[in-house]
Chains A and B, each alone.
Chain A
């Protein structure tokens, strides 16, 4: 059973890699690359959030806050203090880990709605600070962010690069970079899920009481996964900011937290590839619906409602179930 499970996981990663690297064969417009890059980075944050929601069964309504801290810390350090991107990203992530740990210990002793409310409050506080610390963050009007650089080598959407002798545009380079980051994020998450920590988390999800009876330190594991998912958000936030070149406090807003949670729920809680599909759908839909103008929000809401009514487990698990049923039916027919 377990072997089957990890085999399925590996398949998921290979499948994702194929999709990521084959996509440039089908699109060539820099606008589409830009969109794909954004989706990949947000999907990375959603994969992290899914560890908390899908595996530990905890809800965070403040994840955009961590995403925002990651982005703003990197922006402030790189543009005002001349730091290089990587140290800024790492120190920002460590800072977020400390915040998440400090906040998580007391919060994760709470259960049910109290937990969601506490994370909601944390998210709000972060958004308010970003909005009001005008000298540091530029306030509601936002602040610019320099391109991502590694040891003096700069990755900018406007640059020109060569890879294995091929000339590639900055947009494509960013897309490939974001794709690799996403694959790394998924690989890490899957390893975590298959480790003892992952099993402990699933037991917490199943029944917290039962888990603690068999000796799982539920509070410890819950705060650990909370920290990990916050770090995911922080790293992706920093990269997202570098890619965008300009950030406003709206990336730390409650709306964005809700969007992240919706991606997890829509894609399928607990399915790493599923939540990525959730991110793709929710990021692409507004672009597709943009042509309907006033109807956009109504259609968006309608699609979400119908999906949740008819596919309550999320897109991928429902689809997988359906395929499995058909397969077993046809197998039964053969016998």
Chain B
């Protein structure tokens, strides 16, 4: 409480000082963007690049004059990927910090824990987490930037069908990402028709050898291709086991491992495998007329120059979230929450790093499965297939 008072007082002093120094500029309150991300803890590989992206672009937008002539202010908390913490911080952002919009929620659990509060308070919320439940069914105030795991599954299955592969062996991790991906793959396969999941194996998060599951799949009648849905080190081990067993079937991974560190972990065994990924991994191979090319290239160069570390797909979700928020506020012409929400819902043709967003009252994600690019590993690096 005391902190609130001091914070308010210091903010007041800052505003007063700014007003005195720049009499011609209206001493407008900054636009407050709230965020809770998993910067530490097991999901920090999501939250860390997301926070860096938000910090850097809020800075950049402010240098360029802000939004609607007002500066942006980022209010950030670390939820460590914990749902109860996320709920607390969402509550704090809404009720104590009184932010205008929330861009955050690295994990599905954290996002879903904050949703009831966000819906009740009526504040626009752009989530950075993957699962399909976030925007299906559509929730009035909740939007999200990453593609759903359902889209990843559809994209992979479509590519398989195009190659004439219709009998799929599925192996997935039992973590949140893997098990949700498994569910969506099974659902997508039965919805699409003409493709069949003939084997369905799982492995635990800390397993160090998956040859048993892979041998089972190889032994399944008629299996033509194998798909691995998982996160972290599991898929790298599956990939190594795959080549150790000398399995000749075409191999697919999910977008969960679409990063350069996966290539390092899996080494030569990754040769020839395909996965759905963000164009961010292959900015150079994008054709010159691709509308995403300039956005992707700019984000990659700016991020790597500022932080001196490799850009990641997860940071791009935060980039898209922030830019969508900015566009919505500009379109609404104010930070009135209902107006911003309506503007967010009507955004069309917003070219982001992840894809091109076309929001609608029925679709609060706005991406198509085609926004995933199919990449293949060739000579130890990513090649764009389509």
Contacts and interface: CB of A to CB of B under 8 A. Distances in A.
Interface of A: 26-27, 29-32, 34-35, 38, 131-132, 134, 139-142, 144, 157-158, 244-248, 250-251, 286-288, 290-291, 293, 296-297
Interface of B: 1, 3-4, 40, 76-78, 82-85, 87-89, 91-92, 94-96, 107-109, 112-113, 115-117, 120, 131, 133, 174-176, 179-180, 183
Contact of A141 (B82, B85, B112): B112
Contacts of A297: 40
Question: In the complex, which of the residues A26, A134, A248, A291 has the most CB atoms of chain B within 10 Å of its own CB atom?
Answer: A248
Contacts of B92: 31, 287
A31 B96 contact: yes
Contacts of B175: 140
B116 A245 contact: yes
A164 to B, nearest CB: 25
Contacts of B3: 288, 291
A35 B91 CA distance: 9
A144 B87 CA distance: 12
A32 to B, nearest CB: 7
Contacts of A139: 176, 179-180
A244 B96 CA distance: 18
A142 B113 contact: yes
Contacts of A144: 112, 116
Given A29-B1, A31-B94, A141-B131, 19 more contacts: A29-B95, A30-B95, A31-B92, A31-B95, A31-B96, A134-B179, A141-B108, A141-B109, A141-B180, A142-B112, A158-B120, A245-B117, A246-B83, A246-B112, A246-B115, A250-B83, A250-B109, A287-B88, A293-B78
Contacts of B117: 245
Contacts of B4: 29
A250 to B, nearest CB: 5
B257 to A, nearest CB: 18
A290 B82 CA distance: 14
25 contacts: A29-B4, A30-B91, A31-B96, A34-B91, A134-B179, A140-B175, A140-B176, A140-B179, A141-B107, A141-B108, A141-B109, A141-B112, A142-B109, A142-B113, A144-B116, A158-B116, A244-B87, A245-B117, A246-B83, A246-B112, A246-B115, A251-B84, A287-B88, A287-B92, A290-B78
A288 B87 CA distance: 16
B83 A247 contact: yes
A324 to B, nearest CB: 30
A209 to B, nearest CB: 41
A309 B355 CA distance: 54
Residue in A141, A248, A291 with the greatest tally of chain B CB atoms within 10 Å = A141
A141 B176 contact: yes
A287 B79 CA distance: 11
Contacts of A27: 1
B96 A141 contact: no
Nearest to B119: A158
Contacts of B96: 29, 31-32
B138 to A, nearest CB: 16
B82 A35 contact: no
B88 A38 contact: yes
Contacts of B107: 141
Contacts of B183: 134
A160 to B, nearest CB: 12
Contact of B88 (A26, A35, A247): A35
A65 B65 CA distance: 52
Contacts of A32: 1, 96
A246 B78 CA distance: 19
Contacts of A293: 76, 78
A187 B131 CA distance: 44
Contacts of A247: 83
Given A27-B1, A139-B180, A158-B120, A250 B87 contact: no
A147 to B, nearest CB: 10
A157 B121 CA distance: 11
B272 to A, nearest CB: 31
Nearest to B130: A141
Contact of A248 (B83, B115, B116, B133): B83
A132 B131 CA distance: 17
Contacts of A251: 84
B261 to A, nearest CB: 22
A26 B1 CA distance: 9
A157 B90 CA distance: 14
A296 B174 contact: no
A312 B88 CA distance: 31
B163 to A, nearest CB: 30
Nearest to B36: A290
A27 B94 CA distance: 16
Contacts of B40: 297
Contacts of B95: 29-31
A250 B84 contact: yes
A288 B133 CA distance: 32
The residue in B83, B94, B96, B133 that gathers the most chain A C-beta atoms within 10 A of its C-beta is B83
A290 to B, nearest CB: 5
A289 B3 CA distance: 11
A141 B113 contact: no
A31 B94 CA distance: 8
A293 B84 CA distance: 18
